[in-house]
Amino acid sequence: MPGTNPHSNRREEVPPDQFEAFIKSLPAHGYVGANITIPHKEAALAASEPDDRARAVGAANTLWLDDGRLRSTNTDVEGFIDNLDAAVPYWDRDDGEAVVLGAGGSSRAIVYGLIERGFETIHVVNRTLDRAQALRERFGSAVQPANTTALPHLLKRAGLLVNTTSLGMKGQPDLEFSLSQLPQNAVVTDIVYTPLRTRLLDEAAARGNVVVEGLGMLLHQAVRGFSLWFGVTPEVTQE
């Protein structure tokens, strides 16, 4: 977020091997802060001074300058929770379990938020099981690591299905699994917002599930970052 023009922003294409050097020189590029997206959230945490939330999650998505110090936090937690609260106020009232696809930085924030909301069983499904097991080591027994072959069985008990991977994003392959075992009263949400409606959401909606798009999470997570950068707290509206 450039500091020369209040409330302005732009995107930067930075090669992975130059990521740390770039974010540590934000002032030289005219920035007062930045949002970080996948797959750099863990690297952003390591290259900055994280607050308690970012440290607890193990990933940072929001950077800001504080008297010359590069600070970081994680606003994905409230972005995810606030989006669901706004779209489906009853989403957490069921006794169903949560199934979370992916074990990266976004998954960490979402698992943390679900535990805060009182979910006692969160199945983290990942192609490489050790990444999912790392979330159990961080967050405790509420996290149940699993690989993709377990999905049909896990979906039977799911009250919430969350895609935190980049699969389904424009330019990426689609998720390839059947929703036939998923209860029709389960809520399905995808953090991907390009396209706005992914194949996962289209298939879930077609079978009668309530779906929540990823754009709302993007907007809600931006509120605290905007406040940190510009001293103005925006409101997220339906429009």
- What is the DSSP pairing of strand 122-125 with strand 143-146? parallel
Reference 102, options 68, 125, 74; nearest CA is 125
CA distances (Å), origin 25, targets 69, 98, 186: 11, 40, 45
Tokens of 171: 């330019």
**41 is a catalytic site residue:** yes
Sign, CA torsion 163/166/172/176: negative
Please, are residues 4 and 30 in contact by the beta-carbon 8 Å criterion?
A: yes
Give me the catalytic one of 24, 41, 156, 170.
41
Give the H/E segment covering residue 136: helix 129-139
Kindly list the catalytic residues. 41
